[in-house]
Amino acid sequence: MEDREPRSPVYTARGAIVGEDWAAVADAANQRMAVRRIGQQELADVSGVSVSTVRQIQHGGNGRRVQNKTLIALARALGWPDDHLIRVLVGNQVSDAPADATTEREILAGIDRIEQRLDDVSRRLAAVEQLVTAQAANR
């Protein structure tokens, strides 16, 4: 018999798996919703998850399981990486604050570079327009 690496548990709508922390998922989701100032209905609309499932997540699962695809949809809607809520569930939470701050800085730096390039293009276009106007006036 060959040795195989243990497979990670598959999260389905069946029973609970030992070690899952649905209260941590609820805390993470509730905090993120508060920070983003969105309610159950808006999160349901953005994620494609029913309001009753959002409510269930907010209250720590209430004994029912939620599939990975549901946790992924909620994580995306809350602006997290796809696996964020799954990692919270299994106790492998990594803080997303530095990543979000880094991403925001990178986006702002990219926007700044684009604005600089647009300014440069605008100046060059104005110079070309002046040359064309001057040549047309000399004819």
- Domain 22-94 CATH assignment equals 3.30.2020.30: no
* Total Cβ atoms within 10 A of residue 22: 20
What is the residue-level pLDDT of the chain in tens, covering all 139 positions? Answer: 444 444 444 444 445 566 788 889 999 999 999 999 999 999 999 999 999 999 999 998 766 678 889 999 999 999 999 889 988 988 875 554 545 666 777 787 788 889 999 999 999 999 999 999 999 998 8
End-to-end CA distance of the chain: 91
Nearest-CA neighbor of 67 among 13, 104, 107? 13
CA 55 to chain centre: 20
CA 103 to chain centre: 11
